[in-house]
A and B are shown apart, each in its own frame.
Chain A
């Protein structure tokens, strides 16, 4: 664990904060818990990333060179589970923990002990999940979507995976409850809802999505468990069940889930672009309504993941139209971010670089998503690399770049030190270039007819697969700069001011850098809030 000695404030001499391992195992401070979530997410990101490199190494050339097809399927399944549940969701929760109390003028999260429990579930959950790779039958290999009957062919790894998902889901639900209660109950008196930073808004809405859909996932995976071990036939035709019902239940969770993965990025980008354009966000209220509309619409589009299952025409038409509709509020957000830049005064520090790359590349992912919404065309795209390209564009230069932008934005506030800007810019440029080398050719592969989740392919797909694999190794290795930079910053660097960035607005920038261990022990008054007001 990095040295946090200088994070402690001189004001808490009377505070009997534990030291050493007890500080973290018994942590109730939102800053410590936020740090733990982020470190955990970082470790999971590298493990999941290594699995991706195993995949791309095998796909570098036609023929099987490295792994048995079964192990390859375990890698694709585990890569997704690790990245979604182990890296992105905990990273967002870490950023929420660090920033929400500071941004709303609260001394901590509403439920600090629950907060501790929410975090500590995760190392257990993921130890269990990773352990599946070493039990008879190996890890889950039916895709992260866990479709029956295939998933029920798993060995000992299957119930372990289900339990790990239950644990991670519980962690998310409890974390979401904490976020909602904190935001609704602990804001400084003058901070009305429509004066909150957009990152806080994005997390408020994300938290409601989490509470709505994580229980649905829990239900779906429990039904898998009972079908396998207790003689139920939810998903078996011979018992009156239907494998497609699983898909409906799973994707009713799954679609809001992907918005859970991206909405906090929208919030972060909505703070970074105004800061580095030195101009307020264009259309603050519209941005709030857009996030709320996207969240609402996310509940009525789920079957667009299932257009080929044999759905009635009316169902296909409904889901096509509702899916196309989501493009409207999303487009509005992209236009508003662009309008914020227009007639601004732009500088390009690392947070802004990542936010701009997000804007460009997430929009490309949005375009391929719109193409996928068109059902007749989807019959050609479904289950091909075109889908893989789409969701990696929205998740990697989307969610992951959003997380990195947030870390580069707030790291000086957390540590009190500026980081090595030149190295951060190297990290950015290498990531931005390689992420495109990695994922853009996958559009071509999908359109040319390459299915997904295959360890080997026909020779006409070899050339673009080679390019994609080179991009993967370039991207993966470039990420080593990120933890290196962070550790270097924690250890020391140029002193950071309170404001850190010239154009930054928000209550967190009214606190010293590093922020005191206990911040806002008294609620900030109207004068301070108005000073820090974003708009």
Chain B
């Protein structure tokens, strides 16, 4: 008896040690739930999710409880005699129709409120046009004249090739890294205009709580506003099957302070300007004689 208890305690202790180990902390075992996210909206969504989850658990406990009880208490092998007259009970049936309706209404009200907030596209402070294509994203800061492509980073791309021999664990942020992340300021209501070049894609960062489809020939809108104390890098993926490399067009968003963001925009804009000035020079005459002549003249 004591021996059995000791063995159980030892097993429990070993399990607890396992849970506390760094190996477990880095593993995916504890990733069981949606993250609350980094914006007010994502946290609202998370609360709705938990609310409805708890309602389901409560109903489940009651219903499964009755089922399991019946399986044990009403077995023929235990001598149970069936009550063949029990075929109706209007009172109980009305109750278990009305009570679920009440529960559903109770869930629908906060859900509708949150939905209205999600669809409120007024007073946005920055607009970025996002174009999905096979297989990457194009980000166009239409207010600032900055535009670039964002594709799966080279290291991840090499590792993901069939039979590459490269261990995905050795690649930082495997499949969730890009060459040019989207940079945004925290604390501002940012509007994304989503469209696509070819097939339907969909833009999603789990920490932001929202996803929207990017449909060719149409423009969808969504907004997010990241809490000012949640600066950092957030990762997401395309979430609408878009062909062979649907799983390989991630999204990376770098949330910075307003000042850092402004500095970055200036830098990006400056980088693109010399390219425009360079064009007339590149249209220089083709022959060496002509270019010598123009160099002498200039």
Binding site for B on A (CB under 8 A): 62-70, 73, 141-143, 147, 149-150, 153, 236-238, 242-244, 277-284, 286, 308-310, 313, 316-317, 320-321, 324-325, 327-328, 331-332, 334-335, 338-339, 341-347, 356, 359-360, 363-364, 367, 370-371, 374-377, 379-380, 382-384, 444, 447-449, 451-464, 535
Among candidates A281, A328, A384, residue contacting B97 with C-beta atoms closer than 8 Å: A328
Contact A344 B242 (CB under 8 A): no
Contact B34 A380 (CB under 8 A): yes
Contact B209 A379 (CB under 8 A): yes
CA distance A463 to B29 in the complex (A): 6
Among candidates B48, B168, B217, residue contacting A377 with C-beta atoms closer than 8 Å: B48
Contact A150 B242 (CB under 8 A): yes
Question: What's the A-B contact tally at a CB cutoff of 8 Å?
Answer: 285
Contact A456 B175 (CB under 8 A): yes
CA distance A286 to B83 in the complex (A): 19
CA distance A279 to B86 in the complex (A): 8
Q: Which residue of B lies closest to A312 (CB)?
A: B119
A209 nearest CB across to chain B (Å): 23
A371 nearest CB across to chain B (Å): 5
Contact B241 A453 (CB under 8 A): yes
CA distance A444 to B27 in the complex (A): 13
CA distance A456 to B157 in the complex (A): 11
Binding site for A on B (CB under 8 A): 27-29, 31-35, 44-45, 48-49, 52-53, 56, 59-60, 63-64, 66-67, 70-71, 74-77, 80-84, 86-89, 92-93, 96-97, 100-101, 104, 107-108, 111-112, 114-116, 118-119, 159-164, 166-169, 173-176, 198-200, 202, 204, 206, 209-213, 215-218, 220-221, 235-248
Among candidates B74, B88, B173, B211, residue contacting A344 with C-beta atoms closer than 8 Å: B74
Among candidates A149, A279, A367, A444, residue contacting B83 with C-beta atoms closer than 8 Å: A279
Apart from A68-B244, A316-B115, what are 8 other A-B pairs with CB-CB below 8 Å? A238-B217, A320-B108, A338-B70, A363-B60, A371-B53, A458-B174, A459-B169, A535-B87
B91 nearest CB across to chain A (Å): 12
Contact B160 A308 (CB under 8 A): no
Contact B87 A283 (CB under 8 A): yes
Contacts of A64 in B (CB 8 A): 160-164
Contact B118 A376 (CB under 8 A): yes
Contacts of A332 in B (CB 8 A): 93, 96-97
Contacts of A455 in B (CB 8 A): 247
B219 nearest CB across to chain A (Å): 9
Contact A308 B202 (CB under 8 A): yes
B294 nearest CB across to chain A (Å): 45
Given A238-B217, A279-B83, A327-B100, check contact A63 B202 (CB 8 Å). no
7 closest A-B pairs by CB:
A237-B217, A454-B247, A448-B31, A367-B56, A310-B220, A449-B206, A383-B239
CA distance A460 to B24 in the complex (A): 11
Contacts of B164 in A (CB 8 A): 63-64
CA distance A12 to B216 in the complex (A): 65
Contact A458 B176 (CB under 8 A): yes
Contact B115 A341 (CB under 8 A): no
Contact B52 A371 (CB under 8 A): yes
Q: Which residue of A lies closest to B79 (CB)?
A: A345
B103 nearest CB across to chain A (Å): 9
A157 nearest CB across to chain B (Å): 14
Among candidates B32, B97, B107, residue contacting A444 with C-beta atoms closer than 8 Å: B32
Contact A371 B67 (CB under 8 A): no
CA distance A341 to B72 in the complex (A): 11
Q: Which residue of B lies closest to A244 (CB)?
A: B215
CA distance A457 to B66 in the complex (A): 40
Contacts of B71 in A (CB 8 A): 341, 346, 356
CA distance A454 to B242 in the complex (A): 10
Contact B241 A143 (CB under 8 A): yes
Given A64-B163, A451-B247, check contact A73 B241 (CB 8 Å). yes
Contact B114 A243 (CB under 8 A): no
A226 nearest CB across to chain B (Å): 18
Contact A344 B80 (CB under 8 A): yes
A480 nearest CB across to chain B (Å): 28
CA distance A391 to B64 in the complex (A): 20
CA distance A69 to B175 in the complex (A): 14
Contact B116 A313 (CB under 8 A): yes
Q: Which residue of B lies closest to A446 (CB)?
A: B34
Contacts of A444 in B (CB 8 A): 31-33
Contact A382 B217 (CB under 8 A): no
Contact A380 B239 (CB under 8 A): no
Contact B67 A359 (CB under 8 A): yes
A sample of 18 cross-chain residue pairs with beta-carbon separation below 8 angstroms, ordered by A number, consists of A63-B167, A141-B244, A310-B213, A310-B215, A310-B218, A342-B66, A342-B86, A343-B86, A345-B76, A346-B74, A347-B76, A347-B77, A363-B63, A364-B60, A367-B56, A367-B60, A379-B210, A448-B31
Among candidates A67, A73, A147, A452, residue contacting B200 with C-beta atoms closer than 8 Å: A147
Contact B212 A448 (CB under 8 A): no
Among candidates A142, A339, A364, A460, residue contacting B31 with C-beta atoms closer than 8 Å: A460
CA distance A317 to B66 in the complex (A): 34
Contact B211 A383 (CB under 8 A): yes
Given A64-B163, A327-B104, A376-B115, check contact A447 B168 (CB 8 Å). no
A476 nearest CB across to chain B (Å): 23
CA distance A147 to B238 in the complex (A): 16
Contacts of A463 in B (CB 8 A): 27-29
Contact B45 A341 (CB under 8 A): no
CA distance A522 to B164 in the complex (A): 70
Given A73-B241, A363-B60, A448-B32, check contact A376 B44 (CB 8 Å). yes
Contact B56 A371 (CB under 8 A): yes
Contact A243 B168 (CB under 8 A): no
Among candidates A237, A310, A451, residue contacting B238 with C-beta atoms closer than 8 Å: A451
Contacts of B84 in A (CB 8 A): 278-280
B290 nearest CB across to chain A (Å): 44
Q: Which residue of B lies closest to A444 (CB)?
A: B32
CA distance A345 to B70 in the complex (A): 9
Contacts of B176 in A (CB 8 A): 458
Contacts of A283 in B (CB 8 A): 87-88, 93
Contact B104 A383 (CB under 8 A): no
Contact B237 A451 (CB under 8 A): yes
Contacts of B167 in A (CB 8 A): 63
Q: Which residue of B lies closest to A150 (CB)?
A: B199
Contact A286 B93 (CB under 8 A): yes
Contact A370 B82 (CB under 8 A): no
Contact A451 B33 (CB under 8 A): no
Q: Which residue of B lies closest to A450 (CB)?
A: B237
A172 nearest CB across to chain B (Å): 26
CA distance A156 to B84 in the complex (A): 60
Contact A464 B241 (CB under 8 A): no
Contacts of B200 in A (CB 8 A): 147, 149-150, 243
Contacts of A63 in B (CB 8 A): 159-160, 164, 166-168
Contacts of B48 in A (CB 8 A): 374, 376-377
Contact A346 B76 (CB under 8 A): yes
Q: Which residue of B lies closest to A334 (CB)?
A: B63
Contacts of A70 in B (CB 8 A): 244
Contact B49 A380 (CB under 8 A): yes
Contact A380 B206 (CB under 8 A): yes
CA distance A339 to B241 in the complex (A): 43
Contact A320 B160 (CB under 8 A): no
CA distance A335 to B98 in the complex (A): 13
Contacts of A73 in B (CB 8 A): 241, 243-244, 246
